[in-house]
A and B are shown apart, each in its own frame.
Chain A
Amino acid sequence: SQQGEEDPQALSIQEGENATMNCSYKTSINNLQWYRQNSGRGLVHLILIRSNEREKHSGRLRVTLDTSKKSSSLLITASRAADTASYFCATDAYGAGSYQLTFGKGTKLSVIP
Chain B
Amino acid sequence: EAEVAQSPRYKITEKSQAVAFWCDPISGHATLYWYRQILGQGPELLVQFQDESVVDDSQLPKDRFSAERLKGVDSTLKIQPAELGDSAMYLCASSLSDFSTDTQYFGPGTRLTVL
Binding site for B on A (CB under 8 A): 2, 4, 30-31, 35, 40-45, 48, 50, 88, 90, 92, 94-106
Contacts and interface: CB of A to CB of B under 8 A. Distances in A.
Contact of A45 (B4, B48, B104): B104
Contact of B43 (A43, A44, A94, A97): A43
From B41, B48, B100, B111, name the one whose CB has the most chain A CB atoms within 10 angstroms: B100
Interface size bucket, B side?
Answer: 20 to 34
Contact of B98 (A99, A105, A106): A99
A97 B54 CA distance: 11
Nearest to A94: B100
Contact of A42 (B40, B99, B101, B109): B109
Can you list the 4 inter-chain pairs with the closest CB atoms, starting with the nearest?
A103-B42, A42-B106, A96-B56, A98-B98
Contacts of B14: none
Contacts of A92: 100
A95 to B, nearest CB: 7
A41 B93 CA distance: 12
Contact of B105 (A4, A45, A95, A105): A45
B77 interface: no
Contacts of B109: 40-42
Given A31-B101, A40-B111, A96 B43 contact: no
A2 B100 contact: no
Given A30-B100, A42-B4, A92-B100, A100 B45 contact: yes
A106 B41 CA distance: 7
Contacts of B105: 45
Question: In the complex, which of the residues A40, A92, A99, A104 has the most CB atoms of chain B within 10 Å of its own CB atom?
Answer: A99
A101 B106 contact: no
Contact of A98 (B4, B42, B48, B103): B48
30 contacts: A30-B100, A31-B101, A40-B109, A41-B108, A42-B4, A42-B93, A42-B106, A42-B107, A42-B108, A42-B109, A43-B43, A43-B91, A44-B106, A45-B103, A45-B104, A48-B103, A88-B42, A88-B43, A90-B42, A92-B100, A96-B48, A96-B56, A97-B55, A98-B56, A99-B99, A100-B56, A101-B104, A105-B42, A106-B41, A106-B42
